Structure 1
Amino acid sequence: MVSIKDIAKKAGVSISTVSYALNGSQKVTQETSAKILAIAKELNYIPNAAARTLKKRETKIAGVFLTNYSGAFYGELQQGMLDQLSCHGYELIVCSGKESHRFLPEGMIDGAIILDANFSSEELISYADRGHKLVVLDRELEHDNITQVLLDNKTGAKLAVDYALDLGHKKLIIVTGPKDSFDSNQRLKQAVVTAQKNGLDYTVINGDFNKPSGEKAAREIAESFSGPVAVFCLNDEMAIGMYNYLSKTEYRIGEHIHIIGFDNIEVAHYTHPRLATIDYSKREWGSAAAEQLIKLIRKESAAAKKVGVTLVEGESVGRL
């Protein structure tokens, strides 16, 4: 492999002069720089990324850590991050699993966006203590090197339960996500508070933010059905699972079982009847996270942000 020593030898200059030229330094004349760059091209010189990183202490790469890649909203979320990062000359790598956590301490990325339940808060704090820049989307942490960009889960849950109340519903079933999910726990807590405040008879079914857990919840509801009931699925994936199961039964959505979701994923637009759900911009969420990460890397002020939500009404919830 060609090194800067080879370029220096052919150009008849010092190694430091070659280094300055390759890095665009004004310490060498334009004529010398042009000569060195031409030789580098002729020799097919490829910069050593690891060495460059050690010298500059930057990689121009950001990471996003995800619990997994399943689900329908990750694409838009990542696109928002990618668009924002590319505006600042950064690239994005997507990581999952505990082995990828070493990218931070090994300096393979300049900072990270975290939406990964496999990271403990203690682990993230330890990285921040060592100077690593982090934006969290799935928890609240206080540290100078960490900021958060969170969904307004509480407002979304209140909108969903209030919608069922406004349509005359007196019974509510809440289908949760994983027990360690920040978003699920926030939505569940607010849904319960709103139900209790308004005298709603509510029960909770444990789900897992995926279609099979939605199908399982639908089966449980159908087997114990005793009259019209509103169901708040804490994400749309589970709501779609309920549609799948109930389509094979005598129970009709919007008449017997009234479903509200959360996320407004693309497939929700094509459900029949149209799924009522909580909407927010996944792309805006990703873009805001990337913007705050760039600010942290540049040692600028990066205050916590909240992504707003709205209710999308749908015929999946009928009036009683």
Structure 2
Amino acid sequence: MASIKDIAKQAGVSISTVSYALNGSDKVTKETAAKILQIAEELHYVPHAAARLLKKRQSNLIGIFLTDFSGNFYGDLLQGVKEYLSGKGYDLLVCSGEKSRRLIPERMIDGAIVLDVTFSDKELLQYAGKGHKTVVLDRELAHPNVNQVLLDNKAGATLAMEYLLEQGHDKIYAVTGPVGSYDAKQRLRAVRQVAERAPHARVVELPGNFSRASGEAAARAISEDYDRPAAVFCLNDEMAVGAYRYFTTHTDLKIGKHIHLIGFDNIELAQFARPRLATIDYSMRKWGAIASEQLLKMIAGQPVEAERIYVSLIQGESVDSLRSVE
């Protein structure tokens, strides 16, 4: 692979002159710069990214760190991040796995957006203490170099529970999420708080992990326990889709009649379910865009405040009033 030294030798100029030309400096004449660029092209010269980073202290790359890429959740979120960053001259790296985290201390990225439960708070605070800018989407951390853009999980879960109670449902299955998930913990806490205010209601918690398979497993347990119409609140739509599929393919229980099902996230797949899945909606693209905006402000040294993404209830035919049940 050709180096700057090779170009300088063939052009008969110094290494510093080649460097100036390659970086568009006006310290060399147009004629000399054109000659150097022509030689660089002929030698198939590729700039060394790490060396360029050391010089410029800026990569114009932002990394987003995700626990995994499963399900339908991440598409719109990533699109929102990408669209905003592209408009500001930045590119996006999507990362998952422990080894990818070295991009942060090695300063191969200018900042990080984190939605990854495998990152510990301690690790993120260590990076922040060394000046690395981070926006977190899945936890609350107090540090000048860390900001948070969080979903209003409490409001969403409260809306879902109150909607079920308003329809007259007093037996509610809550399919939970991963143990370490901030969103799952916040939603479950709200479920319990609403239940405490409605002593006539009985809430049965079933384990889940935000996957479709765990929704199917919960549906199997509910069908075996079924004795009368019941409501099911899956703490995300992936699990709701799994439960929906199990009830409709493995049982005679009808969605909207025997089982009254509501999810959280309003993913695209859930929108095609018939009867329409009731769910909690918010803009994933907006979530990604706001996170990106906040991170670039931090990188530029501008003040930022914690942001919250607000939610709303979508009333679907998968939930009906008990008064309508035959």
TM-score, scaled relative to structure 2: 0.94
Greater displacement, 6-15 / 294-303 = 6-15
Aligned residue type for 2:23 = N
Larger deviation: 159-168 or 182-191? 159-168
Correspondence for 2:64: 64
For 1:278-297, what per-residue CA distance to the aligned partner results, in whole angstroms no more than 9, with x for missing partners?
A: 01111111111122222222
Counterpart of 2:297 (choices 281, 295, 298) is 295
- Matching residue of 1:137: 137
Select between 25-34 and 53-62 the one with higher mean Cα deviation. Answer: 25-34
Residue 252 (structure 1) aligns with? 254
Worse-matched range after superposition: 35-44 or 116-125: 35-44
Q: What are the within-5 Å matches in structure 2 for residues 300-315 of structure 1?
A: 300-315=302-317
Aligned-pair CA distance for 1:214? 0.8
In the aligned structure 1, how far is the partner of 2:208 from the partner of 2:73? 18
Which string of whole-angstrom CA distances, capped at 9 and with x for unpartnered residues, describes residues 206-249 of structure 1? Answer: 11101111111111111111222211100011111111111121
Counterpart amino acid of residue 223 in structure 1: E
Q: CA deviation at 1:42?
A: 3.3
Distance in 2 between the 1:129 and 1:270 partners?
A: 46
Deviates more, 1:229-238 or 1:29-38: 29-38
Partner of 2:191: 191
Q: Deviations over 1:133-159 (max 9, x none)?
A: 111110011111111111111111111
Q: Which residue of 1 aligns with 2:82?
A: 82
Alignment of 1:111-126 (within 5 A): 111-126=111-126
Superposed displacement of residue 315, structure 1: 0.8
AA aligned opposite 1:310: S
Q: What 5-or-longer segments of structure 2 have no aligned partner?
A: none
Partner of 1:234: 235
Distance 1:26 1:165 in 2: 71
Q: Secondary structure at the match of 1:169?
A: coil
- Which residue type is aligned with residue 305 of structure 1? E
C-alpha distance in 2 between matches for 1:23 and 1:146:
33
Distance 2:287 2:93 in 1: 17
1:120 & 1:159 partners in 2: Cα distance? 30
Following TM superposition, by how much is the alpha carbon of 1:45 offset from its aligned partner in structure 2, in angstroms? Answer: 1.9
Alpha-carbon distance in structure 2 between the residues aligned to 1:302 and 1:23: 33
Q: Which residue of 1 aligns with 2:53?
A: 53
Give the superposition deviation at 1:251: 1.2
Counterpart of 1:253 in structure 2: which amino acid? Answer: I
Q: What secondary structure is seen at the aligned counterpart in 1 of 2:27?
A: coil
% identical equivalent positions: 58
**In the alignment, which residue of structure 2 is the partner of 1:202?**
203
- Following superposition, the deviation at residue 36 of structure 1 comes to 2.8
The residue aligned with 1:108 is 108
Q: In structure 2, how many angstroms separate the alpha carbons of the residues matched to 1:236 and 1:296?
A: 33
Task: Quote the Cα distance in structure 2 between the aligned partners of 1:194 and 1:75.
Answer: 31
Listed one character per residue, the Cα deviations across residues 242-264 of structure 1 (whole Å, up to 9, x for unaligned) are 11111121211111111110011
Taking the aligned partners of 1:302 and 1:34, their CA distance within structure 2 comes to 44
Q: Shift in Å at residue 13 of structure 1? A: 3.0
Structure 1 residue aligned with 2:217: 216
- 1: distance between equivalents of 2:102 and 2:5? 32
Report the equivalent of 2:16: 16
Q: Distance in 2 between matches of 1:297 and 1:128?
A: 12
SS at match of 1:148: strand
In 2, Cα distance between the equivalents of 1:13 and 1:303?
51
Query: CA separation in 2, counterparts of 1:87 and 1:287?
Result: 11
Paired letter, 1:4: I
Equivalent pairs, count: 320
For 1:267, which of 266, 269, 275 is the aligned residue? 269
Cα distance in 2 for residues equivalent to 1:307 and 1:125: 23
Q: Distance in 2 between matches of 1:173 and 1:71?
A: 22
Partner deviation per Cα, 1:146-184 (whole Å, 9 max, x = no partner): 111111111111111111122122222211111111001
- 1:48 positional shift: 1.0
Please list every run of 5 or more consecutive structure 1 residues that lacks an aligned counterpart in the other structure. Answer: none
Normalized against structure 1, the TM-score is what?
A: 0.95
| SS of alignment partner, residue 173 of structure 2 | strand
CA-to-aligned-CA distance 1:55-110 (integer Å, 9 cap, x gap)? 11222211111111101021111111111111122211111111222221122222
Alpha-carbon shift at residue 130 of structure 1 (Å): 1.0
Letter in 2 for 1:289: A
Matched residue SS, 1:89: coil
Give, in angstroms, the shift of residue 276 of structure 1.
0.2
The 3-state SS of whatever aligns with 2:305 is coil
Aligned letter for 1:238? M
Q: Give the corresponding residue for 2:91.
A: 91
